A and B are shown apart, each in its own frame.
Chain A
């Protein structure tokens, strides 16, 4: 069933560029795109020659009102059926179907206030990236801290851009942690994001930060539990779990 207000649209791939050893940023031109809020996602649908369809949700990582209108970040799922196609087969100029924007709960836009605590695991950094880009684009100075966990340095997404944003000195503090070993000379954090790191590097509960946590389900549950244990209000912690959503059409 296709609701009239959420039609399938045909997008054209404007570019596909490597973001890490396991991921690409895919830029999409979408005629008629109504615009989006930072944090929203879209549904993408692939149709095989025999009519078989596979559908997945992807967070939008681009700021609203850019062109191309959309960027999604696709990380390889080893036994997946959609991500290998998007990473290995899809080329500039190809067309794919999508619908969106979707979601209104896990969103933040300049003017919504802060301070803002963003906690991302793996490709869960994608919707948080949209929030950071929206903040920078609008000149918003909301104090924000991004705690970003990746397995290894070469799996980090948006590393150069994040370091540049943090270097601008406009209130963004960047904390990157690696969970499976760090390269020589690494000066960031190591180990999983847990209660200690959230206490040391996040905002204290009495500052009542708005908190967004995105990543694989176990990551999100561990971080949300630790934040509640530290005294943050549950209602200010918004989560977006992702996982094996293959059969969620």
Chain B
């Protein structure tokens, strides 16, 4: 179910990720561990399905964020991201 051949954008992950973030998720800036690219979560490539989602760097393909809500709770694995930045303008919601 994961890594379907046709990726979407991080935009499409926003509804599910909203459960874990206090700010609008697609505008959070993600810095890639693999190549150092910094870009909004909405610009990452989304692969996934009902079991979980993987957001990959559009430059180097590193899995920046893995999300699962198939178990008793929701988890986010961020080993592929070196930084998450929420700029001041995004902080009020």
- Residues of A in contact with B (beta carbons under 8 Å apart): 1-3, 5-6, 41, 43, 57, 99-100, 102-106, 217-218, 235, 238-245, 247-249
Contact = CB atoms under 8 A, between A and B. Distances in A.
Contacts of B48: 248
A105 B6 contact: no
B78 to A, nearest CB: 18
B7 A241 contact: yes
Interface string B74-93: 10000000000000001001
Q: Which label, helix, strand, loop or mixed, suits the secondary structure of the B interface?
A: mixed
Nearest to B23: A104
B14 A102 contact: yes
Interface in B20-44: 20, 24, 26-27, 39-43
B18 interface: yes
Contact of B6 (A43, A57, A106, A243): A243
Q: List the 4 closest A-B pairs by CB distance, nearest first.
A: A105-B42, A105-B26, A104-B24, A247-B49
Contact of B9 (A2, A239, A249): A239
A102 B42 CA distance: 11
B89 to A, nearest CB: 11
Given A1-B73, A103-B26, A104-B42, 6 more contacts: A6-B19, A103-B24, A105-B11, A240-B12, A241-B7, A247-B49
Contacts of A1: 19, 69, 73-74
B53 interface: yes
Given A103-B26, A243-B8, A248 B53 contact: yes
Contacts of A106: 9, 11, 26, 42
B14 A249 contact: no
B27 A6 contact: no
A103 B42 contact: yes
A59 B50 CA distance: 20
B48 to A, nearest CB: 6
Contact of B19 (A3, A41, A245, A247): A3
B67 to A, nearest CB: 11
**Residue from B1, B20, B40, B69 with most neighbouring chain A CB atoms (10 Å):** B40
A41 B11 contact: yes
B14 A247 contact: no
A5 B93 contact: yes
Contact of A241 (B8, B16, B27, B74): B8
A178 to B, nearest CB: 24
B10 to A, nearest CB: 7
Given A1-B19, A3-B19, A248-B48, A105 B53 contact: no
B19 A238 contact: no
A5 B14 CA distance: 13
